[in-house]
Amino acid sequence: MFNINSLSLLRESNQLEAKAASNGTPRSMWETYCAFANTNGGTILLGVGEDAQHNLQLVGVNNPEHMVKDIWDTLNNKNKISSNILIEENISIEQMDDNKSIIRITVPRANRSDKPIYINGNPIGGTYRRNFEGDYKCSQEEYQAMVRDNGSSVNSMDQSPLLQHSVDDFDMETVRSYRNMLSAVRPQHPWLTLDTDEFLMRIGALAKDESNKLHPTRSGLLMFGQEWCIITEFPYYFLDYREITNADSRWSHRIVSSDGSWSGNLYDFWSIVWQRLSRKIDVPFLLNSQSLRVDDTPLHMAVREALANTLIHADYYMRGNTVITYNDAVSTDVDGSSQSSIETNSANDGFKLSFANPGCLRMPVEVALAGGFSDSRNPALLKMFALISVVERAGSGFDAMRAGCDWA
């Protein structure tokens, strides 16, 4: 939050927009409203301009009550604004010095079910996002990503059958490996007695079409499919694991989904990468209450959770790669990314791990960090990984990762 009584100290940013509004409500304000709503929210100040050095300065608005009425009328006009996400407390008239008034509009980040928010009845050309201090039209790809995330098509995107694919597109060695893992962690699970097709239906990897013919679901194809089949549905699909052990080289070891020497699917990628990462974490000598050796440390749990969540929550229709990097050649601080990312540093082991995937976080950062709330982009993938006890479904992933980093 900022102090509007100190305008000269403020600058426009990714969450602050100033408009002089000397001739009434500016049309460009609605682009900013959409951009803030579709991104991370922000505040619009009407009656505030900029000088040549981009310092904010008080201008004031004439007849602010009339402008506020005009704003509410436009917000509730579906031909102008696709969705009004404001409540009365979000718009206020502020009395400033020199008897001047400004209008403050606080735009929250829209719920994903309300996105995309657009203007003039034009979903493609009227959807905006906020970058730094500018409002930019969303590309068709960005618009479609918001539509996929808005909840209206969860079943069709994640769990409905892909009619152009068959069970022959699965790598059956991957399926057997997954069943063996389930048998190891839950030996009494009733689904282990089912035949392969029925088993895959129960976990959400296969579904029937209208004629009762079985087809892979989107999550099933991602989890168990052969890479060359996966990319026919997800053309930007690319998994990349890199190990950097020398600051002078790009990487010392690399695993990519497209090299043709292995299946290239999510489950096998997780298995291969987890085996390598788990061996790189030191295990101190610890005994449990039964005097048995403890080999699964909080850092192991944190890395396992981060790796699985990176794969589970990616938007595989978006451009961008899913990249996991192990780096013991440099030491840096935790940082962010334009993609979803988590970075873990271990002072004890002297390495850095970074996890990045395509797709925006589906909830505000503060909600994700608070924990206790799960909002999976791919619920069937989440179910498959949860069945083999790789992740939980309690919205506690960030807590587990923080605990592991604190332990390290």
pLDDT range class, residue 346, cuts 50, 70, 90 = very low
The topology (CATH level 3) of 4-149 is: 3.30.950
Q: At residue 341, does pLDDT exceed 50?
A: no
The more confident residue out of 49 and 2 is: 49
CA distances from 72 to 30, 66, 76 (A): 12, 10, 6
Q: How far apart are CA 383 and CA 392, in angstroms?
A: 9
Mean pLDDT of 202-223: 97
Q: Is the pLDDT of residue 371 over 70?
A: no
Encode pLDDT of 25-59 as tens digits.
999 999 999 999 999 999 999 999 998 888 999 99
Share of the chain above pLDDT 70, in %: 85
- Number of residues in the chain: 408
C-alpha closest to that of 106 among 32, 54, 174, 180: 32
Query: Residue 408 — pLDDT band, cuts 50, 70, 90?
Result: low
* pLDDT score at 249: 78
Contact criterion met (CB below 8 Å) for 359 and 315: yes
Q: What are phi and psi of 201, to 5 degrees?
A: -65, -45
pLDDT, greater one: 402 or 323: 323
Per residue in 240-276, pLDDT (tens digit) is 999 998 877 789 999 999 999 999 999 999 999 999 9
CB-based contact 364:370 (threshold 8 Å): no
Confidence of residue 7 (pLDDT cuts 50, 70, 90): confident
Please tell me which of 200-204, 247-251, 327-331 the model is most confident about, judged by mean pLDDT.
200-204
Q: At what angle do helices 266-279 and 172-185 cross, to 10 degrees?
A: 50
Query: What is this structure's pTM?
Result: 0.83
Higher pLDDT, 210 or 331: 210
Q: Which CATH architecture has domain 156-407?
A: 2-Layer Sandwich (3.30)
Average pLDDT, the chain: 88
Residue 221 has pLDDT above 60, yes or no: yes
pLDDT at 394: 54
Q: What's the pLDDT at 340?
A: 40
The arithmetic mean of pLDDT across residues 181-206, rounded, is: 98
- Domain segments of the chain as ranges: 4-149, 156-407
Give the Cα separation of 222 and 305 in Å (integer): 18
Has residue 164 got a pLDDT over 80? yes
Burial environment of residue 210 by CB neighbours within 10 A (0 to 12, 13 to 18, 19 or more): exposed
Which band of pLDDT confidence, cut at 50, 70 and 90, is reported for residue 311? very high
Residue 50, pLDDT score: 93
Condensed to tens digits (0 to 9), the pLDDT of residues 87-138 reads 999 999 999 988 899 999 999 999 999 999 999 999 999 999 999 999 999 9
pLDDT higher for 225 or 152? 225
Q: Are strands 206-208 and 214-216 parallel, antiparallel or unpaired?
A: antiparallel
What pLDDT shows up at residue 407? 58
Please compute the mean of the pLDDT values over residues 325-331 and round it to a whole number: 77
User: Is 175's pLDDT higher than 60?
Assistant: yes
| Residue 204 predicted with pLDDT over 50 | yes
Closest-CA residue to 235 (of 163, 315, 168): 315
- Residue 171 per-residue DSSP state: -
CA dist., res. 283 & res. 285, Å (int): 7
Q: For residues 136 and 258, what is the distance between their CA atoms, to the nearest angstrom?
A: 34
153 pLDDT above the threshold of 60: no
CA-wise closest residue to 17 among 52, 6, 5, 30: 30
358 compared with 397, residue with greater pLDDT? 358
What confidence tier does 401 reach under pLDDT thresholds 50, 70, 90?
A: low
